[in-house]
Structure 1
């Protein structure tokens, strides 16, 4: 059994946004239904171990919510601050726990991390994931995806050799080419980033699919189940968006099982 828990479901600013008095941000402050930390996924699986995807600036609070002192290993999608801002805190935790962190990412992402935080590799071992990874029966594939005006990110696909189960995590992407889309076909579960319901800004200034665009994509990709994450304060979880069957928004702390 594989359990996936959404410890963070927000875009780069989180919800509430500190400067914002919109209805969603104010609700997040008052009752917390729309409160969202930066996007992070916790994986619990006998073969994968306790693996996390990304390590943003809310990492400490997310670990406290999970009741975990240190992850067994971590995958990193790209080197934007909302996805790596917690590495410094993780490295410090490793130092105090007298253990070494275990992280995996494509080589160019590791190089960016080392440029920005050159000291964290004293406590965290960064391993190249470009040629794929194997954990028990799980084969993990990573590939570069378009992140619009923000450059690039990487997505991860997980395939289990024994059961045939497959799922993928693609949090930061837009305008994917057919080659970039290929690993997203035929999944049991797709976790996809959608910042707005319908983003009003010029396409060339954007970096993540909106919900309406993602729903069009799903007509071709046809995963058995889809969960949207990486949501801005445009998404109000109190609202019924009339999503198709098998499609839903992630909520902070929500767990699903494969």
Structure 2
């Protein structure tokens, strides 16, 4: 399996249109910190590629990845920064006359239907509450706290043949002990951390910060950790003195299992 980060930003991306902070200004010039909304491109031998989340930067992400067709996608939750590109995907399916498939738990699919009542003409809604198979991998969703923003779903990918497990958890905070359990025995944890250290009251927040992400990583000890869903607070060129097994996601970063 090969995963590629198409987007690594939070709900507003970087640069913020209204912001002249040093990170946003750098993103407008050299572009190192320019970030689309968080998304992954997953490839497995013998399988059609799988998009993970389909946010409003979908068109630019597909062009940047050299991708002309998306057949299927996993969706973590129905917030706009994770489903805003589904209308463009559906329109592409209409023009190519090739229906796509969106996999997500039932409650997520129902929210998508409410927002886009017409979309099932072009994209099939497939419930995966009980998990699904992708090549040699078992994909299991579980519901996680998303703070003031309600809920999201994380996904655990498990390969029984080689014992490799990895998790994508982009939008979560204050996980309960039960919600943490799928973080055991991981080769990779992809975790959303919007700020280096978020200064706002906990009841106003929705995603871990890097400090909290490191504590979670120390607790569950994955072999590797990648922080994504980064806001304009985080400068990927800055040395945050992260452990050797922890890195910040960048657009185009690819990893193989």
Please say whether Structure 1 and Structure 2 have the same fold, judged by a TM-score greater than 0.5.
yes
Residue aligned with 1:63, SS? helix
Counterpart Cα distance in 1 of 2:158 and 2:70: 21
Deviates more, 1:220-229 or 1:63-72: 63-72
Counterpart Cα distance in 1 of 2:25 and 2:98: 40
Q: What residue in structure 2 maps to residue 38 of structure 1? A: 37
Counterpart Cα distance in 2 of 1:49 and 1:218: 31
1:50 aligns with 2:52: no
Uncovered stretches (5+) of structure 1, i.e. residues with no partner:
none
Q: What residue in structure 1 maps to residue 73 of structure 2? A: 74
1:140 aligns with 2:139: yes
TM-score after normalising by structure 1: 0.98
Q: What residue in structure 1 maps to residue 246 of structure 2? A: 247
Q: CA deviation at 1:94?
A: 0.3
Matches within 5 A, 1:164-243: 164-243=163-242
Counterpart Cα distance in 2 of 1:10 and 1:48: 27
CA 1:242 to 1:126, structure 2 compared with 1: closer, same or farther past 3 Å?
A: same
Counterpart Cα distance in 2 of 1:68 and 1:100: 16
Paired residues of 1:3 and 1:257 also in contact (CA < 8 A): yes
Paired residues of 2:71 and 2:99 also in contact (CA < 8 A): no
Paired residues of 2:170 and 2:192 also in contact (CA < 8 A): yes
Paired residues of 1:91 and 1:124 also in contact (CA < 8 A): yes
Counterpart Cα distance in 1 of 2:30 and 2:245: 27
Q: What residue in structure 2 maps to residue 60 of structure 1? A: 59
Q: CA deviation at 1:72?
A: 2.7
Q: CA deviation at 1:48?
A: 4.8
Counterpart Cα distance in 1 of 2:92 and 2:195: 35
CA 1:114 to 1:209, structure 2 compared with 1: closer, same or farther past 3 Å?
A: same
Q: What residue in structure 2 maps to residue 22 of structure 1? A: 21
Residue aligned with 2:49, SS? strand
Q: CA deviation at 1:161?
A: 1.6
1:128 aligns with 2:127: yes
Counterpart Cα distance in 1 of 2:204 and 2:245: 30
User: Which deviations, in whole Å up to 9, do the C-alpha atoms of 1:104-133 show, x marking residues without a partner?
Assistant: 000000000000011111100010010110
Counterpart Cα distance in 2 of 1:47 and 1:138: 12
Counterpart Cα distance in 1 of 2:165 and 2:145: 22
Deviates more, 1:189-198 or 1:66-75: 66-75
Q: CA deviation at 1:247?
A: 0.3
Uncovered stretches (5+) of structure 2, i.e. residues with no partner:
none
Paired residues of 1:40 and 1:56 also in contact (CA < 8 A): yes
Runs of 4+ in 1 over 6 A off after TM superposition: none
